[in-house]
Amino acid sequence: MDNNELRTQRRMAATLARRNVYIETPKTNSFFESMTEEERAAFAKNSARQSAADKRRRKIRGNILTVLGLIVASIAALLAIIPIFFTFLNSFMSSGEIIDNYGVIFNSLSGYAQGGATFLSKTPTLKLVPQRVTVEQYKNLLFMSPTYLFKFWNSIILVVPIVAGQMAVACLASYSFARYRRKRREILFFSYIILMLMPFQVTLVPNYIISDKLGILNTEWAIILPGVFSTFSIFLLTKYMRQIPSAYIEAAKLDGANEWQIFIHIALPTCKSAIFALIILLFIDYWNMVEQPLVLLTDPDKQPLSVFLSQINSAEIGIAFAASALYMIPPLLIFLKGEEYLVEGISRSGVK
């Protein structure tokens, strides 16, 4: 019987078997059929040994791959963390030691000389561990130069109202966008998104014009007010609030809750992690800001620490590390406290 015919027959049998009709099919002359009992046993043993070897090899390969992956991940993690560590460790050196180690860099850099950098024969020494641990830098910074504390306070005074205000405004607005979906609202929402996507370069000019018109230029309000009404958090929160199951809201309505009660008791608690994540994100973003104060606050006394730090770098290298370290402590503390919220908030924002 030729092979093709046999195949057709077996296929037919399979089709019928699906309808619970079983017919005889001719035996195939397979390799397995042609073996004797002993041969079969030997074959099984052999293949068992082979598959065991295979498994072992795969395990070893998997282990090697894991180790390689670990190495790559560790390198990435090291690269990520080293600058932060470096700053903190160096902040405990004495000013003299800092100047000893890095003075050569900043000497050639002073005043951002245009192309005037000359290569000095002395190379800087990168040191991670201070010779002697002192808090001299911090002492100098906190007690000798009051400008630093002033600027720190300036940063706080700008960032806290912006974050608080934007969250309050954004929660209300995104609740409205999430619950009331009509055509014109969607268009408005889309224009909010476009506004969010606009780079600073575009929104800064209108900001400048309007604060000039309102007469708040060169005051904190010129930065706080546009910050409060920035649409970034509305976009993410709306996305989040639209995921609230409508059954919750309907149930609350049946129990006689009004919109405000639904907002307070259902929408806000459901979005808790998103709100915390946004608070963290906004805090970093505004703690970091440089452009707005540069343009909108011409008075250097009102500028926040971020702008000031870029000037301290070249002038007083002795305390620069401590200043940098102190400046990154608040966001890092917030990160340590709220990392889970941050990760969850970011994760949910990207997933549709």
Site string (86-105) toward other proteins, x via CB under 8 A: xx--------------x-xx
Q: Which stretch binds other proteins (CB under 8 A): 6-14, 47-55, 109-117, 139-147?
A: 109-117
Map the footprint of other proteins across residues 226-245, applying CB under 8 A: 226, 228-229, 231, 234
Phi-psi region of 111 (alpha: psi -120 to 50; beta: other; left: phi over 0): left
Map the footprint of other proteins across residues 8-47, applying CB under 8 A: none
Joined together, the tokens standing for residue 114 give 């245009």
Let me know if 256 is exposed, middle or buried by CB neighbors in 10 A (0-12, 13-18, 19+): exposed
Q: Amino acid identity, residue 211?
A: S
Site string (140-169) toward other proteins, x via CB under 8 A: ----------------------------xx
**Distance (Å, rounded) from C-alpha 238 to C-alpha 348?**
12
Please tell me whether residue 341 binds other proteins under the rule CB under 8 A. Answer: no
Could you tell me if 134 and 94 are in contact, meaning their C-beta atoms sit under 8 angstroms apart?
Answer: yes
Q: Which stretch binds other proteins (CB under 8 A): 9-17, 31-39, 135-143, 222-230?
A: 222-230
Please tell me whether residue 209 binds other proteins under the rule CB under 8 A. Answer: yes
Joined together, the tokens standing for residue 182 give 């009509």
Q: How far is the CB of 37 from other proteins (least distance, A)?
A: 32
**Distance (Å, rounded) from C-alpha 131 to C-alpha 212?**
52
Q: Which stretch binds other proteins (CB under 8 A): 22-30, 33-41, 139-147, 336-344?
A: 336-344
Across 197-350, the runs of DSSP E, i.e. the strands, are none
Q: Amino acid identity, residue 130?
A: P
Q: Which of 115, 144, 146, 247 binds other proteins (CB under 8 A)?
A: 115
Phi, psi torsion values for 217, nearest 5 degrees: -65, 145
Q: Which stretch binds other proteins (CB under 8 A): 14-22, 27-35, 38-46, 287-295?
A: 287-295
Map the footprint of other proteins across residues 247-266, applying CB under 8 A: 253, 256, 258-259, 263
Please tell me whether residue 112 binds other proteins under the rule CB under 8 A. Answer: yes
**Distance (Å, rounded) from C-alpha 218 to C-alpha 38?**
95
